[in-house]
């Protein structure tokens, strides 16, 4: 009998055993040299936790809110595409696990179940991730469908005017299954060529590389839903995002899959948080594998984190139960980290609970 996994990294190994190489490489791979992919995890390891002792931590409250929605812990499910490649139940299983764990799922535009099917399967709080296409009417239709089906926010991905070069997908000639949300709107089958994967062919043929800050006004004009932008990595862009009136920001480098040698998200989170000054929520994704990672992100100002690959590993290994277990693992680890650090609630996690490499450099100069 196989031993039960005790952490997220062990779920990754189970996913590797369960999946064809092409699909495992798709989920785990990053752009080019994969520097940013690796750095997303490594940067967390350079942050030290500074615990407080002799606090009454008999009762720990992990609950929080995002855009006014109550969730059981500051962990949301990031938009990850093509989940049927991991498990036949795909996004349906993930949504049900989100509902069971009382957290928010962000559904990808590039999902293998339609947004209507996911909405009908359970009562999870759902946000919808949006790409803007050359044909704006297609994006507008997706937004209206999301709004009509009870999705609570639009998460606009802003780091993908083109697709990053994911060399494993190029080598494997990744075949993209039909994208259910785009049926009847765009060709849903794209074939790889010698230059790239099927996903790259889809992106280059359909994504609007001209979409810019001024166009956020257009997006706001077609929906009443709050808009979060996903892909902010600098102070300058955080300030610009506030100026155009977004409702939230996700510090993200697309899981290291777009621009290689862009910074690890945890290393720039504080810069964005400082620029935003509490005006809108700031979330972060990328490299989160442990409860200690979540704690560090909260200490540096994130309202919540999003996990993508960890969820897919659970899905590939054990379906809905696997996603549920991954989320519960992260919750249990975060609760333990909070107790050992002297924090009874997420509100008590403060900047003084962590020491970054920058803090250490400043101390050495004094």
Annotated binding residue 289: yes
Residue (of 283, 316, 265, 252) closest to 75 by Cα position: 283
Annotated binding residue 286: yes
Both tokens of 58, joined, read 């008999």
Annotated binding residue 287: yes
Annotated binding residue 337: no
- The string over 215-242, giving b where at least 16 C-beta atoms fall within 10 Å of a residue's C-beta and e elsewhere, is ebeebbeebebbbbbbbbbebebbebbe
Report the DSSP beta bridge partners of residue 209.
Answer: none
Q: Which residues contact 48 (CB under 8 A, 6 or more apart)?
A: 354, 355, 360
Other Cβ atoms closer than 10 A to 212: 10
DSSP state of 174: P
What is the phi/psi pair of residue 255, to 5°? Answer: 65, 30
Annotated binding residue 166: yes
Both tokens of 237, joined, read 């862009």
* Torsion angle in degrees (nearest 10) through CA of 139, 141, 147, 151: -50
State the Cα–Cα distance between residues 330 and 247, nearest whole angstrom. 27
Q: Which residues contact 181 (CB under 8 A, 6 or more apart)?
A: 109, 110, 111, 114, 115, 142, 145
Q: Which residues contact 293 (CB under 8 A, 6 or more apart)?
A: 44, 266, 287, 305
Q: Which residues contact 54 (CB under 8 A, 6 or more apart)?
A: 342
| Residue 254: active-site member | yes
Which listed residue (12, 165, 254, 353) is catalytic? 254
Annotated binding residue 308: yes
Annotated binding residue 131: yes
Annotated binding residue 290: no
Pairing status of strand 154-157 against strand 48-49? unpaired
Annotated binding residue 221: no
Annotated binding residue 157: yes
Annotated binding residue 353: no
Annotated binding residue 288: yes
Residue (of 282, 324, 321, 320) closest to 301 by Cα position: 282
- Whether 121 contacts 95, CB under 8 Å: yes
Binding-site annotation, residues for FMN: 108, 129, 157, 230, 252, 285-289, 308-309
Binding-site annotation, residues: 108, 129, 131, 157, 166, 230, 252, 254, 257, 285-289, 308-309
- Residues acting as catalytic residues: 254
Binding-site annotation, residues for glyoxylate: 131, 166, 254, 257
């Amino acid at each position: 009998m196989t031993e039960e996994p005790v952490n997220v990294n062990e779920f990754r190994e189970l996913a590797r055993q369960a999946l064809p190489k092409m699909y495992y490489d798709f989920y785990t791979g990053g752009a080019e040299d994969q520097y940013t992919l690796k750095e997303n995890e490594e940067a967390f390891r350079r942050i030290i936790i500074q615990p407080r002792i002799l606090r009454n931590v008999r009762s720990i409250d992990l609950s929080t809110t995002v855009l006014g929605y109550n969730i059981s812990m500051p962990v949301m499910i990031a938009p990850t595409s093509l989940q049927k490649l991991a498990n036949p139940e795909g996004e349906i299983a993930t949504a049900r696990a989100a509902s069971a764990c009382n957290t928010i799922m962000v559904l990808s535009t590039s999902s293998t179940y339609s947004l209507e099917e996911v909405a009908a399967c359970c009562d999870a709080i759902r946000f919808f991730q949006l790409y803007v296409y050359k044909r704006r009417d297609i994006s507008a239709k997706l937004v209206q469908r999301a709004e009509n089906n009870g999705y609570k926010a639009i998460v606009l991905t802003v780091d993908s005017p083109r697709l990053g070069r994911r060399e494993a997908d190029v080598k494997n000639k990744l075949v993209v299954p039909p994208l259910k949300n785009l049926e009847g709107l765009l060709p849903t089958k794209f074939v790889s060529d010698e230059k790239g994967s099927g996903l790259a062919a889809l992106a280059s043929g359909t994504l609007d590389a001209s979409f810019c800050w001024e166009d956020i006004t257009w997006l706001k004009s077609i929906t009443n839903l709050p808009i979060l932008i996903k892909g902010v990595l600098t102070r300058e862009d955080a300030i610009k995002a506030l100026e155009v009136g977004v409702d939230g920001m996700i510090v993200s480098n697309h899981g290291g899959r777009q621009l290689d040698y862009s910074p690890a998200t945890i290393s720039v989170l504080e810069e964005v948080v400082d620029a935003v000054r509490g005006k809108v929520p700031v979330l972060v994704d990328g490299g989160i594998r442990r409860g200690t990672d979540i704690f560090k992100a909260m200490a540096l100002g994130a309202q919540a984190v999003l996990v993508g690959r960890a969820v897919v590993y659970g899905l590939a290994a054990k379906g809905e139960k696997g996603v549920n277990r991954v989320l519960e693992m992260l919750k249990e680890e975060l609760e333990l980290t909070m107790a050992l650090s002297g924090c009874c609630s997420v509100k008590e996690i403060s900047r003084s609970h962590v020491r970054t490499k920058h803090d250490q450099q400043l101390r050495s100069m004094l």
